[in-house]
Amino acid sequence: MIIRKTFNNNAVLAEDGGEEFIITGSGIGYNRHIGDEVDEKLIEKKYILAESDKQRYLNIFSGDRSFYDVASRIMDDASRQIGCEFYSEAVIELADHIYFVLERLKKDNMLTFAVNDELMSIYPKEYDAALKSLEVIEEAYDITLPHDEAGFIAFHFVSAEKGSGNHDPLKLMNFVTDVMKIIKHHYPMISREKESLTYSRMLMHLRFLGNRVLRKESLGSTEISMLLDIYNKDRKLRRCVDQIRSFIKEKYDWELSDEEKTYIMIHIQRFHH
């Protein structure tokens, strides 16, 4: 495998058997020149370079502060902060995103992230990591980015998490937001509890519920008689849970089980104590 271009110390353009690749690895480009053999012991990732993607990849990898290097740092930091593992393709996707952010910034054509508040509430770890990522990007390229950009990066983290069970992050956010609107309609005081652990736990449960609804996966039925008794006696609670059940049935064609109704009641009841 022969080097055709050195981007920086950690990335090179290489050729092997007529195919072009971008090769990354710590020190793989250090003191290397066109025509040198790639030190295969240093290879960490290899990207096949299709002709249609060539210019895009050249943009992403070129320079001492390449978009790929900045994205790699961000993904590594976010992985530790969130406590998750990301798909390897996520680095390239984020690097591509950062490149186009800077292009839009030059043209004063920044985008608005319409569901920033919802994402901040439903994915707080990812959003906090995204805020730190903004600082890394701003420092690397000496720019100032709008706050909305944290929403795009947080959404990128959510979509890239391995084993998270996120069926579709945008659909999941819409599900949780819609169910919370129903709950707040019946229990307006919940809106004042956004910073509480109880509120966070409710959102976390609704995330799990939303994933099951979107995948049509039901839990086994478990009888929790005490809470079902509360459900039967508390008219307000019954109206709230029944409205959630009807909403999910109508919009997602998914029947809320007695167990799921019980879990929702548990979270609502916690706001009374």
- Specify the pLDDT at position 38: 92
Q: Which two tokens stand for residue 8?
A: 């920086």
Distances from the Cα of 165 to the Cα of 27, 98, 173, 208, angstroms: 36, 26, 13, 8
- Model confidence at 221, pLDDT cuts 50, 70, 90, reads very low
Query: What 3-state class would DSSP assign to 156?
Result: helix
Res. 60: pLDDT tops 90 = no
Residue among 68, 77, 75 nearest 25 (CA): 68
Distances from the Cα of 260 to the Cα of 201, 227, 232, angstroms: 15, 11, 15
DSSP 110: P
Residue by residue, DSSP assigns 102-125 as: HHHHHTT-PPP-TTHHHHHHH-HH
Residue among 2, 52, 69 nearest 32 (CA): 2
Q: Which two tokens stand for residue 258?
A: 């007695």
The larger pLDDT score, comparing residue 198 to residue 137, is at 137
Q: In whole angstroms, what is the distance from residue 159 CA to residue 167 CA?
A: 9
Lowest mean pLDDT among 22-31, 173-182, 186-195: 186-195
Identify the structural domains of the chain with CATH numbers, from first to last: 2-50 (2.30.24.10), 67-160 (1.10.1790.10), 169-270 (1.10.1790.10)
| Chain-centroid distance, C-alpha 15 | 34
- The average confidence (pLDDT) of the chain is 83
Cα radius of gyration (the chain): 24
Res. 222: pLDDT tops 50 = no
